[in-house]
Chain A
Amino acid sequence: MADHRFEPETLAIHAGQIPDAATGARALPIYQTTSFVFDSADHAASLFNLQTFGNVYSRLSNPTVAVLEERVAALERGRAALASASGMAAEAMALLTLLQQGDHVVAAGALYGGSVSMLAVNLAKLGIETTFVDGASVDAFAAAIRPTTRAVFAESLGNPSLQVLDIAAVAEVAHAHGLPLVVDNTVPSPFLCNPIRFGADIVVHSATKYLGGHGTTLAGVMVESGKFPWDNGKFPGMTEPSKGYHGVKFFETFGDFGFTMRARMETLRVYGAALAPTSAWQILQGVETLPLRMERHCRNALAVARFLQADRRVGWVNYPGLPEHPDHALVARQMRSVDGVPGASGLLAFGVRGGLAAGVRFIEAAQMMSHLANIGDTRTLVIHPASTTHRQLDEAQQLAAGVAPDMVRISVGLEHVDDILWDIDQALAASAA
């Protein structure tokens, strides 16, 4: 008899956590300890040899952190996951495990700025080169692949571009060249989109955003699909004896979760970007209500997008949940529907008539909406990228990065939609004054 397949609403509450073996505690205990005792010298040897599963030191694994790992793996319909101290750390763990000096990456151009920095500056310093391509062009990904390419990287839903990746088409290109597709799925969250279903091999999250959802705690998670053929000849680090972990052959020994084990034992263990148990616990309090929150985020964001569309003080609106959005068909194909329409998450961008000065006036007039550089909070957040996050760039560079002078980004929160619309309306009045 086949195992029952649990829905995401159930996985968000239960996956990874059964009542504590020692105490019967129903809610998740916080294992606030750096280290774990060995039963014997032989037990210690087995743990270090990875011949038995267990905890040694919380920089490698921790029972509280492991619940977050398994829960996100389950929500993504993946095989295994590795948590780390932030979304950037999760991305670094995935890429530093995959890549080495001389390797090449093909990445979508309009990525989150932190990801661009990691690829264009930090990984370049290690001798890993990245070619940035138009994320909307499947052919551009294919044309940029070289014999040394070892990864294709993109966002399922771009921030702040709100470009939607054709995951299946780009995965097909990557797989035709024996390469894994790495997808940052932060903006949709695993409730709205599961990139693995469409062929992604590794998914990364800033759990700081919708997974945690409350704007209190930093965390990141990397998920492995368990389906990539690491023995295709391009990834000797997966098939040859590990120099970083006394000769273990990760793919042969751990099979479909070999990449996660290697990321844990070779990369997380050495770079030390471990997630604190208390942070994992905080994020998990948020994950339990992820499905409920994402539905409300989608509902509120669509209402805000429709309001802005109809307002003469607004020049343009970019929200993939609108039927007029150029990527709306991709949203319909790849993302869960909410209230019978494609759920496009809570991020949108729009142009205030009057250019940069009007954009600044809008932000400064907001009463309840918070002016800050985060997304995926319970609170509605607003930012004017041209005067803040992208102010070091000139106008041409800003436009290349998808930032228009009049652009305001809103991360629509969970407040009553009438109150959000009221604040937007009064801030628009101020911007036009």
Chain B
Amino acid sequence: MADDIAALRRILRSSRTIAIVGLSAEWHRPSFFAAKYMQEHGYRVIPVNPRYDEVLGERCHASLATIEVPIDIVDVFRRTEDVMPIAEQAIAIQAKCLWQQIGVKNEAAAALAAAAGLDVVMDRCVKIEHARLFGGLNWAGVNTGVISARRPI
């Protein structure tokens, strides 16, 4: 389980494409907040949700299986009990990280992904972690836990 600052930094820094499973097209939903934020910070967001054709200017996929580009992070905005098949697909498409959002905690899916060599993150928000480790969240008065004598990069 990647849960410390060094591992989370490594994952976010080495990743460029994020498939967001369960991404909503409604602007006030947390998944849309996260997707828009990650796009604005240089990541390519690939929406995965059978309900839409397109979200945030990207073609929306019904499942991970139809995505043609290599995926670094599979970010899961689904209920805990629905994560296992997503973990299996993430392994099949050779994603590098299975990331379960805040409140999503499927231990078995995380263990399966970890056994297949993926980084696994659980019960954390990709947007909040990015802003915590690369700047922004501190402006909201949040305790980031970052103690450092180096400039933020």
Q: A-side interface residues toward B, CB under 8 Å?
A: 1-3, 6, 10-11, 14-16, 18-21, 24, 26, 43, 46, 49-55, 61, 63, 66-67, 69-70, 73-74, 78-83, 241, 247-249, 252-253, 255, 257, 260-261, 264
Q: How far is the CA of A53 from the CA of B134 in the complex (A)?
A: 11
- Which residues of chain A are within 8 angstroms of B137 by Cβ–Cβ distance? 53
Residue of B nearest to A5 (CB): B145
Q: How far is the CA of A248 from the CA of B28 in the complex (A)?
A: 6
- Which residues of chain B are within 8 angstroms of A83 by Cβ–Cβ distance? 141
- A73 near B149: Cβ-Cβ < 8 Å: no
Q: How far is the CA of A66 from the CA of B152 in the complex (A)?
A: 16
- Which residues of chain A are within 8 angstroms of B14 by Cβ–Cβ distance? none
- Please name 21 pairs of A and B residues whose Cβ atoms are closer than 8 Å in the assembled complex, sorted by A: A15-B147, A18-B147, A18-B148, A18-B149, A18-B152, A20-B151, A21-B151, A21-B152, A51-B27, A52-B136, A61-B141, A63-B139, A73-B142, A80-B143, A253-B30, A253-B33, A255-B102, A255-B103, A255-B128, A260-B140, A260-B141
A-B contact count (CB 8 A): 108
Q: Which of B3, B28, B148, B152 has the most CB atoms of chain A within a 10 A radius of its CB? A: B28
Distance in Å: Cβ of B9 to nearest Cβ of chain A: 11
- Which residues of chain B are within 8 angstroms of A14 by Cβ–Cβ distance? 147
Q: How far is the CA of A82 from the CA of B148 in the complex (A)?
A: 22
Within 8 A of A (CB), among B84-111: 102-103
Residue B116 is within 8 A (CB to CB) of chain A in the complex: no
- Which residues of chain B are within 8 angstroms of A260 by Cβ–Cβ distance? 140-142
Distance in Å: Cβ of B106 to nearest Cβ of chain A: 18
- B139 near A54: Cβ-Cβ < 8 Å: yes
Q: B-side interface residues toward A, CB under 8 Å?
A: 3-7, 27-28, 30, 32-33, 36-37, 40, 102-103, 125, 128, 131, 135-152
- A2 near B143: Cβ-Cβ < 8 Å: no
Residue of B nearest to A73 (CB): B143
Distance in Å: Cβ of B74 to nearest Cβ of chain A: 21
Given contacts A20-B151, A53-B136, contact A2 B141 (CB under 8 A): no
- Which residues of chain A are within 8 angstroms of B33 by Cβ–Cβ distance? 49-51, 253
- A10 near B140: Cβ-Cβ < 8 Å: no
Q: How far is the CA of A107 from the CA of B151 in the complex (A)?
A: 45
Given contacts A53-B136, A241-B28, A255-B125, contact A18 B146 (CB under 8 A): yes
- A264 near B141: Cβ-Cβ < 8 Å: yes
Residue of A nearest to B3 (CB): A2
Q: How far is the CA of A16 from the CA of B147 in the complex (A)?
A: 8
- Which residues of chain A are within 8 angstroms of B135 by Cβ–Cβ distance? 21
- B40 near A18: Cβ-Cβ < 8 Å: no
Q: How far is the CA of A134 from the CA of B138 in the complex (A)?
A: 39
